[in-house]
Amino acid sequence: MRYHLLGVFLRLASIVHLVLGAAVFHWPDPLLDTLDDQLYRPGFSPASTFALNCGPRDNSTIAAQWLRLAYHDMATHDSTTGTGGMDASIVFEFDRPQNIGVGMLESLVDFLVAPNEYVGMADVIAMGAINAVVGCGGPVIPFRGGRIDATEAGPATVPEPQQDLASHIASFKAQGFTETEMISLVACGHSLGGVRQADFPLIMTEDVPAGIQTFASTLGFDNTVVTEYLKGTTENVLVVGSNITTRSDFRIFSSDGNVTMQSLASPDNFNQVCADLIGRMIDTVPSTVTLTDPIEPIDFKVWNTLLFPQGGSLAFLATLRIIDTGVNRTVTMFWKERTGTFCPPAGCSVPSFQVTTDSASFLATLKGVTAFKLHSFNAAIDLTTSISQFWFEVNDNDGSAPFIVDNNGVNYTIDQDVVLFDPRRSSFTIGGLFMVVGVKDPSTSINVTALTTIDGTTTVPVTSSVIANFELDSSNPPADGYMFYTSPISGKSLSNTIHATVNGTAYSLWVPFLDAPGV
C-alpha cells in the first residue's frame, strides 16, 4: 500500500553538489527535483532498492530483468533517422516474440509509482538499468534525465538469436554501435540472467532443474561470462546450446577472432567498457530529445515547501536538505515580504525547529554520500505583507564564518500567494482523497482545475492524465482572506498541477506526491 502526503514546489532552487559537468538545479525544475530524490533517496523509487544484492526473482534476478528491459526498449533506435531509443515504447511491444518473458511486465510493474507529470517511464527504465548494474556489484554509470515517453510501439528491431551475424551487425549499427561495441555490449548484458526454457523452448531444448540456464556461473555483474567463454567451460546456451541456429552469442563473441573478448578478460577493462556502453545505451534517445547533464546528489536542496493560510497568518513550511558530512550545522531561514516593510532590513528569520537524518540510496553511497540532514522550518508569515523570497544562513559551528545558501545569489522565489494548496484542510484518508485549494480575494470569475497524473495498472503500465474540477467548499468557510475549493482526486495520483484563473489572471502550481512525514 502507498502512503502519500503532499508537498508543493513553489519556485524553488538549490546549490548543486559540485561535480564537474553535473546538472545544475535551477528553479523551478520538477524534473531534476524528482530525479535527484529517486536516484539518491531510497524511499522515493523502487529502482533504488529492489535490485540490491542481486535480489532473486523467477529463478533469475530482478537486475537481469531490468537490464534486459532497458536494452529491448532502446533497440528500436535508428541512428540514421534519429527515431526510437529509450522512450518506453516497450510498454506497447509485449506482443512481440522478442519481448516474451514474465520479467518484462514485472519490471514495469516495479516502476509503476515512479513516473509523474515531469518524469516519464523511459527515465525510470534507465534508472533501473544503472541500479541493476550497481546492485549486482557492477560499475557506477552516470544518469542523465529528460527522456520523453513514446505514445505507440516502435519498430520490431530487437535482435533475435536465430538471426545470422550479418543481421546482428546491421541491428547494432542502426542502434549506433560498431561491431566491436556489439560484442562488448552483448557480453556486458549477458553478465546477468539467462534463458528460460518456458519462454524459449527452441533455444533451451534440454531440461534444466530451475527451468533457466544462466549465461554465467556467477550471480553478480562481472566478467565470468567472458572468462568461461574463453576457457571453454561456459554453459551459456547461446554459445554451446544444442540448437546451432540460436548460438548467437558464439557468432557474436567469435566474430573478430576473440580479440574483443580477450580484452574483456581484464575485470577492470570489463567494468570500464560496460559502464561506457550501458551508459550510451540508456542515453540513446530520439534526436528530438535533449538529456540533462549527469545528475549528481544535490547539496543544499530546498525540499517539501508549503505555503497556506492558517490561524490568522500564512504558514510556511520548508526543509533544507544537506548532504551529511558529520558537521553539526545550525541553519536559519530568512525571508522578505511581498508588500510593505514588515521584516527588518536583514529579513525576517526563524531557526529550524528540527533536524532529522534521512538515509542515502546505495547509488548515493557509491558517490560518497552516506546520509542527508533535513533541517525543517515552520514560519508564521504576516498575511498582509506575505512572502516573496527566502534564503538560508548556514553555520558550521567550527569558528568559520557562516555562509549563505541563496540559489546562487538570486534567492528562492515564491511567485504568488493567490492560489495555494492547503494540506491541513485536505483529506487523505481511507474514506477518500480530497484536495483543498485556497484562493485569495476571489471575484465571481473563478475556475480551478488540476491536471492529475495517474499511474498505470499491472496489465497496462502506462500513466494517464485526468482533469479534476474544484468546487466551492461549504465545509471550509472563508478564512484569512481565502475561500476554499475542493475536488476529489484519485488514490492512484502520482502528481497534480493546479490551474486557476482568478480575476482574469492565470495561476499554476505543481503539487507532487511526496513521502513527507509530519506535513
Virtual torsion, Cα 95, 96, 97, 98, nearest 10 deg: -130
- 89, HSE (Cβ side, Cα atoms, 13 Å): 23
Residue pair 434/468 in contact (Cβ under 8 Å)? The answer is no
**How far is it, in rounded angstroms, from Cα 191 to Cα 26?**
38
Cis status of the peptide bond prior to 297, with omega within 30 of 0: no
Distances (CA, A) of 287 to 78, 83, 143, 294, 508: 10, 6, 18, 18, 30
101: left (phi over 0), alpha (psi -120 to 50) or beta: left
**How far is it, in rounded angstroms, from Cα 204 to Cα 64?**
18
Q: Which residues of 15-26 are buried (b: 16+ CB within 10 A; e: fewer)?
A: bbbeeeebbebe
- Would the CA dihedral through 349, 30, 28, 363 be positive or negative? positive
**How far is it, in rounded angstroms, from Cα 340 to Cα 336?**
10
CA-based nearest residue to 104, from 156, 58, 52:
58
**How far is it, in rounded angstroms, from Cα 346 to Cα 221?**
55
Cell of 372: 542527508
- 35, HSE (Cβ side, Cα atoms, 13 Å): 30
**Residues noted as catalytic:** 72
DSSP secondary structure letter of residue 424: T
CB-based contacts of 246-250 (< 8 A; 24+ apart in sequence): 246/161, 246/162, 246/200, 246/202, 246/203, 247/161, 248/159, 248/160, 248/161, 248/162, 248/163, 248/168, 249/186, 249/190, 249/215
